[in-house]
């Protein structure tokens, strides 16, 4: 199981570890290993907490040395962006070292993935008054072409009748400025903020929910909205965990 990783122990337990546990329960014949793609987080955990996590290449090398024959690499990433493509490069280097080596895709890949996530979001992030309340989801965003996923997901939310759900990104497009412009077209009074990321880590806790004046919470409050935070990463939601399980099942059953 490969994720970007997080240095926040609480959200790591509720999201990454929760996904891993659910997947391990579904595939008792497989050993489950963890890898992070963020070198910065790997180093921080080593230095600060004496926790050692492999990067994907290190994890694959260990599996090869330990004589594993069938390996399924499933990313817990949300989009097939640059992190995902770096992972695929690492996997390709090991393609001749295992009898079976397969890599899965990110959460939002096929059209049905978007609709399934929209259903999960609607079930998990609820509002009471559709005319006065809106939900703003903070995605990570990317300079990679896969950043278009966020706009597509926003479109699908609207298509599903979730007209008061909006998607913005912290490092891509649309930014919060574009989201605020859309919010202003309606008479919303209250905004519920939630991460559209696997974990509620640094971006969610600081850029989204922090007390600094440039945080999304503070900026929305400055626009006159009452703001409520739902600080749960996508990895906490059973619907998201099931989506990863379905992807792995598809890989295992592929001829």
Catalytic positions, written as ranges: 140
103, β-bridge pairs: 73
Q: For residues 79 and 140, what is the distance between their CA atoms, to the nearest angstrom?
A: 10
Q: At what angle do helices 56-65 and 82-92 cross, to 10 degrees?
A: 20
Q: What are phi and psi of 60, to 5 degrees?
A: -65, -40
226, β-bridge pairs: 190
> In 3D, which of 98, 180, 101 has the Cα closest to residue 134?
180
Structure tokens at 164: 């008061």
Burial of 178: CB neighbours in 10 Å, binned 0-12, 13-18, 19+: middle
Q: For residues 115 and 174, what is the distance between their CA atoms, to the nearest angstrom?
A: 20
Q: Helix or strand or coil: residue 127?
A: coil
To 5 degrees, how large is the angle CA 151–CA 238–CA 11? 80
Q: Name residue, tokens 């008054």.
A: 129
């Amino acid at each position: 199981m490969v994720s970007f990783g997080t240095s926040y122990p609480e959200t790591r337990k509720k999201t990454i570890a929760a996904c891993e546990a659910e997947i391990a329960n579904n595939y008792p014949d497989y050993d489950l290993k963890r890898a992070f793609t963020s070198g910065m987080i790997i180093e921080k955990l080593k230095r600060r907490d004496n926790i050692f996590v492999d990067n994907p290449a290190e994890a694959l090398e260990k599996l090869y040395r330990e004589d594993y024959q069938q390996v399924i690499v499933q990313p817990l990433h949300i989009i097939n962006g640059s992190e995902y493509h770096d992972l695929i490069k690492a996997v390709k280097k090991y393609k001749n070292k295992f009898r079976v080596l397969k890599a899965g895709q990110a959460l939002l890949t096929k059209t049905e993935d978007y609709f399934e996530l929209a259903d999960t979001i609607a079930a998990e992030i609820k509002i009471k008054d559709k005319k006065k309340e809106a939900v703003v989801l903070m995605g990570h965003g990317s300079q990679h072409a896969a950043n278009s996923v966020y706009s597509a997901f926003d479109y699908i939310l609207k298509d599903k009748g979730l007209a008061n759900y909006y998607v913005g990104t912290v490092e891509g497009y649309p930014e919060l400025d574009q989201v605020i412009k859309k919010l202003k077209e309606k008479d919303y009074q209250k905004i519920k903020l939630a991460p559209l990321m696997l974990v509620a880590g640094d971006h969610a806790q600081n850029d989204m929910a922090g007390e600094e004046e440039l945080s999304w919470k503070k900026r929305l409050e400055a626009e006159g909205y009452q703001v409520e935070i739902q600080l749960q990463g996508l990895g906490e939601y059973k619907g998201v965990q099931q989506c990863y399980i379905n992807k792995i099942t598809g890989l295992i059953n592929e001829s």
